[in-house]
Every structure is written in C-alpha cells, then in structure tokens.
Structure 1
Amino acid sequence: MRFFVLAAALLLSTSVLAAFVPEAVSMPKPHYPSFLTSVPGHARISLNIHNDGSVSDVKALSATKPEFGEAAVEAATQWRFKPWTVNADQPAVIDAQNEMIFTPEEIKAKSTQLSFMETTYQSCSALNEEVSQFRRNHPSRPLIQMKSFAITRVAVMFPALSGKSDYNEGLDRADALESALPEIVRKCQAHPKSTYAKYLPSNLRRYL
C-alpha cells in the first residue's frame, strides 16, 4: 500500500517577514505511521529556521493522532534551507509553522480532487453559513484558516508543493487568495444563490 503526505506551505509567524521566505533545500516527508495505514489525518508543527539553513525547536502544535505529530516533527527536524545573509529584512532566526496532511495513497487522487471540487463549487449560501459559524467560534482567527478557504489554499499551492511549479509562485497565489477573501465573502453574502468558485480570482480558478 502506498501513502501520500502533503506538506503545506510554511506560515511565517512574524508579519515583518512577509517579503522574505527562506528557500527550502531539502524537506523530507514524514513516514506514515505503520499502524495507521488506513487512517487520514494531519499535524501542525512549529519550528525555528536559522540563517545557516538549519532548523531547531521543532514541536507539534496539534495533530489528529499523536503519531502523526511525532512523524511530522521527526521529518521537519531534517529539513534544511538555503543560508541567507542577516540584515534588517532577513533576521538570523525565523519562527514558522507548517501543516502536514496524511492521506492513504489509494484514496488520495479521488478524495483530494473531490474535496477541492466540493469546496470551491459549493453554493454561496453554504459558504455564508460556514463563515458565520467560523467567526462565532474563532473571532480572532484570520479567514484563511476557515476549512473551505484552507482547502482552497492547498489547491492553489498544490502544483508548487508537488514540484510542478515554482514554490514562490505558489506562495504568491496563496497570498492573492487570502487578499481576495473579504471581497469573496462580501459577494457571496450579496448573492447567496451563486457559487463560491464564481468569485474566486480568475487566475486562481485554473488550479482548482
């Protein structure tokens, strides 16, 4: 049986670093826990990236199963980045987070595509309900962390994450999506019978 692990884009925790993203040299994927071969899940980790390209303080912030968190931490400890020169815009240490999605390979192709399709082509009325619920439950969190928007972010990043396109281009697409979310929500609220996909930026729809 084969398995699939998706390492989503690094999320830098310091806003002043928005213009600088460390370039990954090696990002080994975690091993799928052997006794969870039929169980999908995910793990979110935090780590420090140093200007010599090394990482430290890798920790599991959350995981659907402890074993997924352990596997994610073990893999991320081996990650290496391209060294950079320290200056005002490029500090010596960067705090980052990463989410890894574990999916059995045999269901990956169908389930991943289905998730993207179900999410982006859902009705605006359904999206409006999800937005309202998300804001009630998580008033301080950004919209990009809402499930439908997080899935869309993975979709537009997927070519970069799978090595089919430039990683920085993938980050640009993810940033464009996040910037467009307030307008998407506004339009969906005004047109509940429409679809979420209709209001996505046209340059992002081709990745869905």
Structure 2
Amino acid sequence: MMFAACIGANADERSVEFDYRRAPAWPYSLSKSGISGWVVYDLKAHHDGRVSKPEVLDSSHPLFSLSVVNVVPTWRVKPWVVSEQRPAVISLRQEHYFVHPREGNAPVPWLHRSLRHLSCAKFSKRFDDFQQNSSDLEQVEMSVFRHTYSVLARVATYRKLSDEQRFALGDALAEAVPEVIQRCRANPALRYKDVLPDQVSMML
C-alpha cells in the first residue's frame, strides 16, 4: 500500500471539517516507476458543503497535479452557518504527498532524504517552475523551502531544541532565501544543502 497524505496548510483548515475526501489516484506510470512526489494547491470550501476550484500552486510532477485536480471537486465539507466569523466561501491551502513504500511511507523522513540529495541544478529548475506557476507567492513559499521548514521542525523536536533555537533556525532560513537562490544558480553542481546557512545545513 502506497502512502498518500493530505495536509492543511493554513489556519482556515481548523474552521472547515471535511465530510468526504477520497484520496487522489496514484498515477499508474509513476507508481510503477516508484516515483514519490507532492502537490500544493488551493481550493474553495462552500458553506453548503461543496468544494470547488482546485488550483495547483506547486507540484513535483504534472500527473500528480492532474490527479489532485480531478478528485477535489468530488469532496464534501460539513455545511456551516454563514456569519462574520465564517464567510460563505473559505479558501484553503492543502498539500498532498504521494510517498512510495520504498521511501518508508512517511512524508517528512522522505522529504529529509530528498533535501539532502537535491542538486542546485534541480533546485533552480523547480524555482523557475514555481515562478512561472505561482508568481503571486513569496519566494519562501516555494515547496523546497516549505519542506525544509517541515524537516527543521521534526529535527528540532527530536533534538529537544528550545523555542528560541527553533525560531532562530526559521529566521536564518527565511533571511537566506535570496542568497540560496542566487548561489544555486551560480553553482549548479553543488547541492541545495551546501548553500544553506551553516546552522540550517547542519540540521539536514
């Protein structure tokens, strides 16, 4: 059984409860090849229970994107009474992970391994795709940086870092984003891990 996880990516997720959410189908060609991946997307949840307008913001493969876009309109949320606190339509940002059994069936450890081996050449290609498809988003919202935050949070918990140390790591990564992009473009043979701030790189 291959693992697929849907993860809410913003605070509005707490105010919407899904009533029906079938997992996106794993594209056969990718599952047969053992390819894992992710999709980041927005959707609209309506007060009458409908779910609509899936919009892919970032994805590791077009077939994963297509699978998500095809299934989201079939989902349902539990209806709610419209009020000032809960509008008729709520926008949600979601992440879906397709993690192959050979990767261990858990998203964050797989992401951790992927980040360790990610080349600057591949990073730059992903950044170009991100800019083309999500030009209205901040650079730090690119999937690679979000995944790095997820891994840092997991490692920080494992190492029992203080809140101050956690915040310092997050700040260091955020501040380094423009330089990381520039250094990877200039040095495609390096790894993404090599151009991160030392305190962040050591955690990967």
Please confirm whether the aligned pair reaches a TM-score higher than 0.5, indicating the same fold. Answer: yes
Match of 2:100 in 1: 104
Alignment of 1:185-204 (within 5 A): 194=199
Once residues 50 and 110 of structure 1 are traced to their aligned partners in structure 2, the CA distance between those partners, rounded to angstroms, is 31
3-state SS, counterpart of residue 98 of structure 2: strand
Q: TM-score, normalised by structure 2?
A: 0.56
- Within 1, Cα distance between the matches of 2:141 and 2:108? 19
- Structure 1 residue 142 displacement after superposition: 6.6
Alignment of 1:1-208 (within 5 A): 2-11=1-10, 21-37=15-31, 38-109=34-105, 112-113=108-109, 115-116=111-112, 141=138, 143=140, 145=142, 147-153=144-150, 181-182=170-171, 194=199
Residue in 2 that maps onto 1:125? none
> 2 CA distance for matches of 1:7 and 1:155?
20
Q: How many pairs align?
A: 157
**Pairwise CA RMSD:** 4.2
- AA partner of residue 9 (structure 1): G
Counterpart contact for 2:49–2:78, Cα < 8 Å: yes
Task: Summarize the Cα distance change of 1:156–1:80 in structure 2 as closer, same or farther, 3 Å threshold.
Answer: farther
For residues 185 and 54 of structure 1, do their structure 2 counterparts lie closer, same or farther at Cα, with a shift above 3 Å needed? closer
Aligned to 1:8, what secondary structure does the other structure show? strand
Shift of 1:25: 2.3
Alpha-carbon distance, 1:141 to partner: 1.3
1:168 alignment counterpart:
none
TM-score, normalised via structure 1 length: 0.55
| Gaps in structure 2 of 5+ consecutive residues | 117-122, 155-165, 176-196
User: Secondary structure at the residue paired with 1:35?
Assistant: helix
Alignment partner of 1:77: what SS? helix
The letter of the residue matching 2:29 is F
Code of the residue aligned with 1:44 in structure 2: it is V
Provide the rounded CA distance (Å) in 1 between the counterparts of 2:97 and 2:2: 11
Residue deviations 1:131-178 (CA, integer Å, cap 9, x gap): xxx9xx999617465635434437869xxxxxxxxxxxxxxxxxxx88
Q: Is the alpha carbon distance of 1:39 and 1:68 closer, same or farther for their aligned partners in structure 2, counting shifts above 3 Å?
A: same
Report the 3-state secondary structure (helix = DSSP H, G, I; strand = E; otherwise coil) of the residue aligned with 2:85: coil
Q: Say if 2:41 and 2:95, in contact at 8 Å, map to a contact too.
A: yes
